[in-house]
A and B are shown apart, each in its own frame.
Chain A
């Protein structure tokens, strides 16, 4: 069947991935919602560094040869499929993930990936609410189980996840030390002999060795981004009772964003 002009939309399209970037702005078919699915009219899409890890080394082309980047968005509900218990066309929403890619005029979502957009937030802010804050919650509360008055060191406090962690840890009553841009602050802290109960690390490739010397008794080091257990082989904290946990932000299902976070918040 020939598609009408309105059956297409503009999208950032990945046409191949063979170790080099290859993106283009293209007309691609507009998604249609099936059972349990919702199409949103995207007003803003978030850009995250984890997109890099998601793309490298994998063939993400679907059956139509289309892959649209973008993990989260904010916009208005456009069309609702059957078996969706909430949401109507026109509802402002933000997403935690999409099925079809966020960097497009329309995005297909599982209805469980959608949440009402807070009235105070513009679409541009709603597009960076879901993943950074969920990642910070998971790192702080589900993995590190940070307690009030513990010392939290955030390497990369000026990034999206780091900034979210500062806000959330402050509410929790943690004492926060953050670094941004350079490792000067970290080196000053290390020189003073300070130790972190919890360290959130955005750049283990740069900081991991020193992090291992800075963990307090029963300290928890959370590595955020595209790192996994294989990257940690041979890495041991100086204190035997300290722990290292990687957090892969993009492959954690919504259902695993967890109980500890809801209690802590």
Chain B
């Protein structure tokens, strides 16, 4: 495993970093999300695949 990802894994495992998901989108609704991309950073958005 790449060393950096190993460290990120360990930090997340210890709870020292916690990626935040602000929006959960179902796969069937992902089209509008991709169509709406504007190049701007937003807090985590995850497409859930059932």
- A 123-158 binary contact with B (CB < 8 Å = 1; else 0): 111111110111001000000000000000000101
**A-chain residues with CB within 8 Å of residue B17 when the two chains form the complex:** 133, 164, 167-168
Partner of B30, one of A12, A75, A124, A203: A12
Complex Cα–Cα for A257 and B15 (A)? 22
A positions within 8 Å CB-CB of B: 10, 12, 21, 23-25, 42-47, 49-53, 69-70, 75, 86, 96, 103-105, 112, 115-116, 118-121, 123-130, 132-134, 137, 156, 158-164, 167-168, 171, 202-203, 224-226, 254-255, 257-258, 261-262, 265
Residue of B nearest to A126 (CB): B19
Q: Which residue of B lies closest to A107 (CB)?
A: B49
- Is B41 within 8 A of A103, CB to CB? no
Bound Cα distance A119, B10 (Å) = 10
- Known A46-B46, A70-B47, A265-B4; 15 more pairs at CB < 8 Å: A25-B27, A25-B31, A45-B46, A49-B40, A104-B49, A112-B2, A118-B9, A123-B48, A124-B46, A125-B44, A128-B45, A132-B19, A163-B19, A164-B19, A167-B17
Nearest CB in chain A: distance from B39 CB, A: 4
Kindly supply a per-residue 1/0 record for chain B positions 6-49, scoring 1 wherever the CB is within 8 Å of any chain A CB and 0 otherwise.
11110111011111110011011011011101111111111111
Q: Are B44 and A49 in contact (CB under 8 A)?
A: no
Q: How far is the CA of A257 from the CA of B43 in the complex (A)?
A: 22
Known: A103-B47, A120-B13. A156 touches B41 (CB 8 A): yes
Q: Are the CB atoms of B42 and A128 closer together than 8 Å?
A: no
- The B contact surface, by secondary structure, is mixed
B33's nearest neighbour on chain A, judged by CB, is A47
Residues of A with C-beta under 8 A to B28: 25
Query: Bound complex: CA of A157 vs CA of B46, how far in Å?
Result: 19
Whether the Cβ atoms of B41 and A21 lie closer than 8 Å is no
Taking a contact as CB atoms under 8 Å apart, the answer to whether B48 and A129 are in contact is no
Whether A21 lies near B35 (C-beta < 8 A) is yes
**Contact pick for A52, options B8, B11, B24, B37, CB 8 Å:** B37
Distance in Å from the Cβ of A125 to the closest Cβ of chain B? 5
Q: List 20 A-B contacts (CB under 8 A).
A: A12-B47, A23-B35, A46-B45, A46-B47, A49-B37, A49-B42, A51-B37, A69-B34, A96-B5, A103-B30, A118-B13, A124-B48, A128-B44, A130-B8, A133-B19, A159-B42, A203-B41, A255-B2, A257-B4, A265-B7
